[in-house]
Structure 1
Amino acid sequence: MTLRLIAVHAHPDDESSKGAATYAHYLEQGVEVLIVSCTGGERGDVLNELVARDPRSRRDLAGVRRAEMERAQEIIGFEHTWLGYEDSGLPEAGDPLPENCFAKVPTEISAEVLVGIVRDFQPHVMITYNEQGGYPHPDHIRCHEISKIAWDLSGDAESFPEAGEPWTIKKMYYEEIFNSERVNAVYNWLEANDPESELLPQFTELRDWMSKRGYSGTAKVDVSRFFEKRDEALRAHASQVAPDSNFFFWPNDLQRQAWPFEDYRLAASRVMTSEFETDLFQGIEENA
């Protein structure tokens, strides 16, 4: 049986900052991996000064981000599709959302598109964002909402009958990669093994901030062999990632020593599995 994984993300670059090492890990094992980008990232800020100097980034940011996505896809090797909606941006509190953006499209309309993708690809595992969207961006929240509908209804023949033959996903996970246990583990490793490290003060501050978020992961997947490939894919999204981005201030060798995992929370399952997992496909082949 060929195993398949679908990951639903809000914008291009989210797939590289939130799970790229996991996708590389499973691709090496022969799993088919499909990334869905709900929007084109048209309203994102350009965070890299070198890219901002390029007139194309002001004239055609959507085209820039599509090219970046193609490069990240080449690096990791996953399949990719666009859901086809416009980035909602991140308006100031009280400001309206732009017309026709992803977060303003009726949920059932964009959910039907995702259900069609699910029924065509036939994934066993879905990865998406938690109820808060991972963070409260309107596109991330809507991404969660339509993913939950696809989980609930893609296997129901009476729902969205025009979207293809029913397919039932076996397990759904929320990504929990940036979490308090990871930060604590890195801090504790530095304190025990390199107390003079210039990184320690930064992790002290980060640990205090992350302690308020807690930890809800149930699956730790060891993907340490793919950290460099993950970083290469993330750097491919150059408009969103400056060379000195905080994404890269954790040395990979340090991460391998202290926390070689990417973390997920099992949100729902239709197969028997254990409370804590090291494999997102645990229980699927046994229950096939």
Structure 2
Amino acid sequence: MRIADRSKATGAPVDKFGNQLCALTVHAHPDDEASKGAPTFARYAEMGVRTVLVCCTGGEVGDVNNPALKEPGMPFHGLDSVAERKLLAEMRPKELEKSVEVIGFSKLHMLGYFDSGMADSDSNANPKCFHMADIDEATERLVKIIRLEKPQVIVTYSDDQRGYLHPDHLKVHDVSILAFERAGDASWYKNAGPVWQPLKMYYSVWSRVRLKSVHEAMLRLRGSSPFDETWFDRPNLDHRITTKLNVGEYFWARSGALKAHATQVDLNEPFWFGLSDDELAEVYPYEDWILADHHIGGYSPTASGLETDLFAGVRAE
């Protein structure tokens, strides 16, 4: 399995003040970092950028989505629901570690909350779950990490999640927004370390043009597509995209990180692996982002077209 090679970097790129470039991404569960942004972060890792992953929960109440692991001789064969859940909770941190290695993250921080599960499930009422966490307490935990790691760029989930209303994903957005503002404000969280103001905050987005391109390629090359009309009924956020990164050479990070999460990903599932890395790179070699907020005076992200770098306006000339 290929992993990000930081030795390819010729040096540590810096911002206009001489600080090493750092990007921090916030995710809800183990495996989210694999499906959203893995190629982008692998690319930056190999460029020498410090890359940090914050995972808010341990994914304890997920399901075993890989039927191969329930076959005779495999870890989940014959287990009842209680034993299955216990083993799953033990395996998911190890899977996350493998994914982190593939993508090349410099550091993994666990925010320390329990998986909330889907809306209205019993686990939603668990006082230790992320969904139930006090918003200021959760924000302070994230601010402490931001002040420690000093990222110029923060990546989080969109303010429009109508396509997937998972309580933990909604909470990631809410906490990230507050942390972006409060990390640089000395009046907040005086015991969370010296203040640090991130300069840019991005939302991840699966663009409609990407969805359409992959769907049409699946029909052409495989004869069917997992993307039915419900996918095209989801909100189209393409008009908000400010940033398009060509990461076609790094799709191995996505597929490798997904495979690291063996309990969560079925290798025969066309949703994840319907196209090879090379085919996907030919069809749509980009990851798209929305610049949600920034603290760069006079900066306009689309003044000369879409950004091609999350550190545009930040990177030393």
What is the TM-score when the length of structure 2 is the normalising length? 0.82
Aligned counterpart for 1:142 among listed residues 163, 168, 171: 171
CA distance in structure 2 between the aligned counterparts of 1:124 and 1:207, rounded to whole angstroms: 38
In structure 2, the CA distance between the partners of 1:91 and 1:209, relative to structure 1 (3 Å rule), is closer
SS in 1 for 2:126: coil
CA distance in structure 1 between the aligned counterparts of 2:234 and 2:57, rounded to whole angstroms: 30
In structure 2, the CA distance between the partners of 1:165 and 1:95, relative to structure 1 (3 Å rule), is closer
CA distance in structure 2 between the aligned counterparts of 1:96 and 1:227, rounded to whole angstroms: 34
Aligned to 1:262: 287
Aligned counterpart for 1:233 among listed residues 231, 244, 257: 257
What is the TM-score when the length of structure 1 is the normalising length? 0.89
% identical aligned pairs? 37
Cα offsets for 1:218-260 (capped at 9, x unmatched): 2111111111222011110011101112111133223222210
CA distance in structure 1 between the aligned counterparts of 2:116 and 2:215, rounded to whole angstroms: 36
SS in 1 for 2:281: helix
Count of aligned pairs: 280
Aligned counterpart for 2:136 among listed residues 108, 121, 130: 108
Structure 1 position 49 matched with structure 2 position 67 = yes
Answer yes or no: is the 8 Å Cα contact 1:76–1:233 preserved in 2. yes
CA distance in structure 2 between the aligned counterparts of 1:33 and 1:94, rounded to whole angstroms: 35
Structure 1 position 163 matched with structure 2 position 192 = yes
In structure 2, the CA distance between the partners of 1:14 and 1:187, relative to structure 1 (3 Å rule), is closer
Aligned to 1:33: 51
Structure 1 position 81 matched with structure 2 position 109 = yes
CA distance in structure 2 between the aligned counterparts of 1:212 and 1:170, rounded to whole angstroms: 30
Answer yes or no: is the 8 Å Cα contact 2:203–2:291 preserved in 1. yes
Aligned to 2:231: 209
Answer yes or no: is the 8 Å Cα contact 1:180–1:211 preserved in 2. no
Deviation, 1:273, is 3.8
Q: After the TM superposition, which of the residue ranges 262-271 and 7-16 deviates more from structure 2?
A: 262-271
Amino acid at match of 2:147: R
Aligned counterpart for 1:124 among listed residues 148, 152, 173: 152
Structure 1: state its 5+ residue gaps.
none
Cα offsets for 1:133-171 (capped at 9, x unmatched): 572100011111110111111000011111110000000
Structure 2: state its 5+ residue gaps.
1-13, 15-19, 77-82
Cα offsets for 1:195-231 (capped at 9, x unmatched): 85334x427x547732542123221111111112220
In structure 2, the CA distance between the partners of 1:144 and 1:195, relative to structure 1 (3 Å rule), is closer
Deviation, 1:98, is 2.5
**Runs of 4+ residues over 6 Å off in structure 1:** none
CA distance in structure 1 between the aligned counterparts of 2:113 and 2:314, rounded to whole angstroms: 32
CA distance in structure 2 between the aligned counterparts of 1:156 and 1:197, rounded to whole angstroms: 53
Aligned to 2:4: none
Aligned to 1:274: 301
Aligned to 2:17: none
CA distance in structure 2 between the aligned counterparts of 1:38 and 1:47, rounded to whole angstroms: 21
Structure 1 position 58 matched with structure 2 position 85 = yes
- 1:11-26 superposed matches below 5 A: 11-26=29-44
CA distance in structure 2 between the aligned counterparts of 1:207 and 1:250, rounded to whole angstroms: 20
CA distance in structure 2 between the aligned counterparts of 1:27 and 1:286, rounded to whole angstroms: 17
Aligned counterpart for 1:242 among listed residues 235, 243, 266: 266
Answer yes or no: is the 8 Å Cα contact 1:132–1:141 preserved in 2. no
Amino acid at match of 2:38: A
Amino acid at match of 2:211: V
CA distance in structure 2 between the aligned counterparts of 1:93 and 1:12, rounded to whole angstroms: 19
Amino acid at match of 1:115: V
Aligned to 1:70: 97
